[in-house]
Amino acid sequence: MPIRHVLILSDLSPESLRPTAPVAEFAAELGARVTLLSVVQDVRIAPHGAPLAPKISSPDVDKEVKHAQLALEEQSASLSGVEVATVVVRGDSVPESVVDYAQHNEVDLIALSTHGRTGFRHLALGSVAEAIIRHATVPVITYPRVKRKH
């Protein structure tokens, strides 16, 4: 299976950048392009006092999209030697948005960092990485959280 397009998911945190250097090196060796993707959650709700009205986005979503785009452009500076595109998508579910983007944009491999939540935090927050792995139609490579030495 040729790999021509690699998607790296970023939630704009420093932890989400773990895959960038090794994936950029891998993509450069293969001659593949890289897309650095961030998803801004757009949970649409009915306007206050009008439960039957069409659902609307939060007024802050556009600002969040602009912030995410600027942050991705800064993050992309660390990816040298490879063609990089930065993309911000809006969606109500991060995993669904990532899988949908990959399916509609000829992505051959998804790379992402795991945050390593366990116990109650994992149950309460779910796992974006797990959901992407379950639903993706292309291989997914994960970069685990670095364990701290005591």
pLDDT in tens, 47-56: 666 666 666 6
Q: Which of 37-51, 77-91, 134-148 has the lowest mean pLDDT?
A: 37-51
- Indicate if the pLDDT at residue 141 is higher than 90: yes
Euclidean distance between CA atoms 109 and 141, whole angstroms: 7
Looking at every residue in the chain, the average pLDDT score rounds to 84
The answer as to whether 11 is a domain residue is yes
The answer as to whether 60 is a domain residue is no
pLDDT in tens, 118-130: 444 444 345 888 8
Segments forming the whole domain that contains residue 85: 1-41+79-150
pLDDT in the model for residue 120: 42
Give the Å distances, CA to CA, from 49 to 43, 45, 79, 89, 115. 18, 11, 48, 29, 38
Alpha-helix residue ranges (DSSP H) falling in the chain: 20-30, 61-76, 94-104, 119-125, 128-135
Domain count, the chain: 1
